Homo-oligomer: A and B are copies of this chain.
Amino acid sequence: MPVKKICVVVTARPSYSRIKTALTAIKNHPNLELQLVIAGSALLGRYGNAVEFIEKDGFTVIDKVFMVLEGENPTSMAKTTGLGVMELANVFYKLQPDAVVTIADRFETIATSIAASYQNIPLVHIQGGEVTGNIDEKVRHANTKLADLHLVASEDAKQRVLKMGENPSMVFNTGCPSIDLADEIKNNSTLDFDPINKYGGVGSEINWKEEGYIVVMQHPVTTEYKSARKDVEETLKAVYELNIPTFWFWPNVDAGSDGTSGGIRSFREINKPQNIHFFKNMEPQDFLKLLTNSKCLIGNSSAGIRECSYLGVPVVNIGSRQNKRERGNNVLDTVYNKSEIIKSIRNRISAKNIVSENIYGDGKSGQRIANILAETDIKYYKTIMY
Q: Which residues of A contact B (CB under 8 A)?
A: 41, 43-46, 63, 66-72, 74-79, 81-87, 89-90, 93-94, 107, 110-111, 113-115, 117-120, 131, 133-135, 137-139, 141-146, 160, 163-165, 202, 223, 258, 262, 269, 323-324, 380-384, 386
Contact = CB atoms under 8 A, between A and B. Distances in A.
Contacts of A93: 75
A146 to B, nearest CB: 5
Contacts of A78: 85-86, 89, 114-115, 118-119
B111 A90 contact: no
A89 B110 contact: no
Contacts of A67: 69
A119 B75 contact: yes
A44 B66 contact: no
A118 B134 CA distance: 10
Contacts of A114: 78, 81-82, 110
Contacts of A66: 69-71, 75-76, 79
A222 to B, nearest CB: 8
A227 B194 CA distance: 32
Contacts of A111: 82
Question: Looking at chain A's contact residues, is the secondary structure mostly helix, strand, loop, or mixed?
Answer: helix
Contact of A386 (B44, B163, B269, B384): B163
26 contacts: A44-B70, A45-B258, A45-B262, A68-B69, A69-B69, A69-B70, A70-B70, A77-B119, A82-B85, A82-B87, A82-B111, A82-B114, A82-B115, A107-B118, A113-B142, A118-B135, A137-B384, A138-B146, A139-B146, A142-B145, A160-B386, A163-B163, A163-B164, A163-B386, A202-B269, A223-B381
Contact of A74 (B71, B77, B118, B135): B118
A220 to B, nearest CB: 13
A41 B45 CA distance: 18
A83 B85 CA distance: 8
Contacts of A383: 131, 133, 137, 323-324
Contacts of A324: 383
Nearest to A255: B118
Given A69-B70, A82-B86, A381-B223, A117 B135 contact: yes
A347 B362 CA distance: 61
Given A68-B70, A114-B81, A145 B135 contact: no
Contact of A141 (B131, B145, B163): B145
A233 to B, nearest CB: 18
Contacts of A72: 45
A21 to B, nearest CB: 28
Contacts of A45: 72, 258, 262
A66 B90 CA distance: 9
Contact of A145 (B43, B69, B138): B138
A90 B70 CA distance: 14
Given A63-B94, A68-B69, A83-B83, 9 more contacts: A45-B72, A68-B71, A75-B89, A78-B89, A78-B114, A87-B90, A110-B114, A120-B223, A163-B165
